[in-house]
Amino acid sequence: MTDQEWNTLVSVVRGETLRPVPTGFIIDSPWLPKWAGHTILDYFTSEQTFLEDNLKAIRTFQQTIFLPGFWSEYGMCTEPSAFGAVSMWEENEFPFAKKVLRSPADVEHLEKPDPRKHGLLPFVIKRLKHLQPEIEKAGHRIRFAVARGPLNIATFLMGTTEFLTALKTDPELMHRLLTITTDYLVDWIAYQRECFPSIDGILLLDDIVGFVSRRDCETFALPYLKRAFSADVTVKFFHNDAPCKACAPLLPEAGVNFLNFGIQHTLSEMRTWTGNTISLLGNIPPRDVLASGTPADVKRSVTDMLNALEDRSRLMVSCGGGMPPDVPTENIQALISTVRELTN
Amino acid sequence: MADLATLREAVIRGDALAAVAAARATLESGITPVDIVTQGISPAMGEVGRLFEEGEYFVPELLIAARATKEIFQILRPLLAQSGIKPRGHVVLGTVQGDLHDIGKNLVAAMLEGGGFEVTDLGVDVPPEKFIAAVQDKQPQIVGLSALLTTTLPAMKGAIDALRTAGIRDRVKIMVGGAPVTKTYADSIGADGYGENAAASVDLACRLVNA
């Protein structure tokens, strides 16, 4: 992310109305490698491919912001790998981490990993360290510490069905599990900040928060998200594209000030639920419009969304979620140009 | 019918122990397994589905209700088989190849079982050949395909195409669902029905088999 892009993001987070309204997209392995002509596995395993694909996207779409910037990741395997989860790789599929907990009682034996030494985490850091000169030569800096959220990591370790069931059947053990995943997250975020002092933002991705009731969110999500976001940084960015009506009112208290959410809710609804204290990144339908539609469909969708919105402060236009696979270049261009045209 | 009310309440609360105890008590009092399904489990899961649709229940509440239902069916299944009672239909269900997520599939399986359907759960990461074999061996009326990842959506189409190539596509209705699936996508791959969520799956399955 360039200094100018970062300043734009900070202005949005501070509640300014920008003309034109900025656009931005979360880009990572589901979209980027294939768009750039590589396999997912090549993207993960080659530093050069990672760098070239990111630079290609940045240079192709110069009028938008890619979030969180150069994001070193190994999909869903990054955080669970440090707990010893087996990572499964396919040439062109998302990697997948096998569960490490067979029952809630196994939490008793779970140890907090060391982000400096365990799993793929040193690889994440080293990739960025090795590429840092090239990234900075291109005018970009590493701005975000990035991780999956505490509930999301818990589901990787034990399975989504099992974790959500155990919230009801074994709440004490689940609190113990969430304490471990959160302690680990706090360490992991601190280590990323230590390695890259240019970091002034945290991005947490946690769809599981959207699956539970408000009461469960207060009990099992809020205290842990609060701790995970507790570092003193300017941008506290949360991604949850599951339905999040129940959890939305709690997100300001969790510290979130920038939110990417799904297409189940409108921008206006989300503003109301969050007391208009959180800036929003969204929310054109990612699959039905951005990936499968035509540029004309994208233009129509963006126009409808912006016309429905009187107040365009605290907004960065994007899709409702991360960039999905197979979004063509012309649809991204259509989104960017329509937003500029309508909000200049 | 007081025991059936207890059973329904236990299922709605997701209290598996109480649900099983209530099921045993109702059986001992002479209520038939069919009545337990039609007057106990089905309305209870219907209520759970309604609460979910209205935003009062969330996934964990659905899961523990499903768990309670599953426990009751462990007791009822052999009794239902003995009495020759036919289910409303038979659904073969699986998460498509390349996708290891099971939560949507598990919820749908529980809702369908609670709704009086027989369910054959093929698990996760199911290759097209396994769906073909299940259709040939089990002769279901419906095949349910689940996916959670955008990258595995094409595997849904792959499974449907494989059934067509095997010449057995027309033997079954196909219902699809999962977080990235939309009605538009379901139509585009030639599915017969799209379930927006697990709670809607019973109505959809009933429509597909005209039950």
Partners of A93 on chain B (C-beta within 8 Å) are: 98, 151-152
- Of A51-55, A182-186, B117-121, B177-181, minimum mean pLDDT range: B177-181
Contact B151 A90 (CB under 8 A): no
Q: Tell me the residue range of the domain where B56 lies.
A: 2-82
Write the residue in A30, A161, A216 that is nearest to B106 by C-beta. Answer: A161
Work out the minimum CA distance from A36 to partner chain B, whole angstroms: 16
Q: Which of B82, B110, B139 delimits the end of a domain?
A: B82
Considering the domain architecture, whether residues B39 and B141 belong to the same structural domain is answered as no
Q: Which of B32, B53, B82 delimits the end of a domain?
A: B82
So what's the pLDDT on residue B152?
80
**Measured between alpha carbons, how far is residue A151 from residues A40, A221, B101 in Å?**
26, 7, 16
Q: In terms of pLDDT, which residue wins out, B201 or A102? A: A102
Contact A161 B98 (CB under 8 A): no
Residue A83 confidence class, pLDDT cut points 50, 70, 90: very high
Q: In terms of pLDDT, which residue wins out, B1 or A289? A: A289
Q: Tell me the residue range of the domain where A186 lies.
A: 3-343
Considering the domain architecture, whether residues B94 and B59 belong to the same structural domain is answered as no
Q: Nearest to residue B45, comparing CAs of B115, B118, B105, B103?
A: B115
So what's the pLDDT on residue B2?
56
- Of A77-91, A267-281, A291-305, B67-81, minimum mean pLDDT range: B67-81
Using a CB–CB cut-off of 8 Å, the residues of A that contact B are 30, 90, 93-94, 96, 159-161, 164-165, 167-169, 211-213, 216, 242, 245-246, 287-288, 292, 324-325
Considering the domain architecture, whether residues B14 and B38 belong to the same structural domain is answered as yes
Q: Are A40 and A96 in contact (CB under 8 A)?
A: no
Q: Nearest to residue A324, comparing CAs of A28, A22, A84, A39?
A: A28
Alpha-carbon distance A283 to A260, whole Å? 8
Considering the domain architecture, whether residues B70 and B121 belong to the same structural domain is answered as no
Residue in chain A closest to B125 (alpha carbons) equals A96
The answer to whether the bond into A33 is cis (omega within 30° of 0) is no
SS (H, E, C) A80-130: HHCCCCCEECCCCCCCEECCCCCCHHHHHHCCCCCCCCCCCHHHHHHHHHH
Alpha-carbon distance A333 to A335, whole Å? 5
Write the residue in B58, B149, B151 that is nearest to A212 by C-beta. Answer: B58
What CATH number is given to the structural domain containing B10? Answer: 1.10.1240.10
So what's the pLDDT on residue B140?
96
Query: B152 in contact with A at a CB cutoff of 8 Å?
Result: yes
- Whether the per-residue pLDDT at A164 is higher than 60: the answer is yes
Alpha-carbon distance B146 to B133, whole Å? 18
So what's the pLDDT on residue B111?
85
What CATH number is given to the structural domain containing A68? Answer: 3.20.20.210
End-to-end CA distance of chain B: 25
Considering the domain architecture, whether residues B96 and B200 belong to the same structural domain is answered as yes
Question: Taking the CB of residue A215, how many other CB atoms lie within 10 A of it?
Answer: 10
How much is the mean pLDDT over chain A?
A: 96
Write the residue in A90, A164, A287 that is nearest to B63 by C-beta. Answer: A164
Considering the domain architecture, whether residues B170 and B138 belong to the same structural domain is answered as yes
What CATH number is given to the structural domain containing B123? Answer: 3.40.50.280
Average pLDDT over residues A11-26: 96
Picking from A87, A165, A174 by the largest number of B CB atoms within 10 A of its own CB, the best residue to mutate is A165
Tens-digit pLDDT profile for chain B (211 aa)? 558 999 999 999 999 999 999 999 999 999 999 899 889 998 998 899 899 889 999 989 999 998 999 899 999 988 988 888 788 899 999 999 888 788 889 889 988 887 889 999 999 889 999 999 999 999 999 999 999 877 788 889 999 999 999 999 999 999 999 888 888 889 999 999 998 888 888 889 999 998 5
- The count of structural domains within chain A is 1
Residue in chain A closest to B17 (alpha carbons) equals A169
So what's the pLDDT on residue B85?
77
Q: Are A212 and A243 in contact (CB under 8 A)?
A: no
Query: B67 in contact with A at a CB cutoff of 8 Å?
Result: yes
Contact B150 A287 (CB under 8 A): yes
Write the residue in B98, B103, B150 that is nearest to A161 by C-beta. Answer: B103
3-state secondary structure of A140: coil
CA-derived radius of gyration, chain B? 17
So what's the pLDDT on residue A325?
87
So what's the pLDDT on residue B180?
80
So what's the pLDDT on residue B148?
81
Element (H, E) at B46: helix B42-53
Q: Are A30 and A94 in contact (CB under 8 A)?
A: yes
- pLDDT tens column, A254-265: 999 999 999 989
Partners of A165 on chain B (C-beta within 8 Å) are: 60, 63-64, 67
Contact B60 A213 (CB under 8 A): yes
So what's the pLDDT on residue B1?
52
Residue in chain A closest to B106 (alpha carbons) equals A161
Work out the minimum CA distance from A294 to partner chain B, whole angstroms: 14
Work out the minimum CA distance from A161 to partner chain B, whole angstroms: 5
Query: B180 in contact with A at a CB cutoff of 8 Å?
Result: yes
Contact A213 B179 (CB under 8 A): no
Q: Which residues contact A209 (CB under 8 A, 6 or more apart)?
A: A149, A151, A217, A221, A225, A240, A242, A244, A247
Residue A336 confidence class, pLDDT cut points 50, 70, 90: very high
- The count of structural domains within chain B is 2
Query: B54 in contact with A at a CB cutoff of 8 Å?
Result: no
Q: Which of B82, B113, B140 delimits the end of a domain?
A: B82
Average pLDDT over residues A222-240: 98
- pLDDT tens column, A108-153: 999 999 999 999 999 999 999 999 999 999 999 999 999 999 999 9
Work out the minimum CA distance from B35 to partner chain A, whole angstroms: 28
Percent of chain A scoring above 90 in pLDDT? 92
ipTM of the complex: 0.92
CB proximity under 8 Å: B 77-106 to A: 98, 100-103, 106
Considering the domain architecture, whether residues B157 and B78 belong to the same structural domain is answered as no
So what's the pLDDT on residue A196?
98
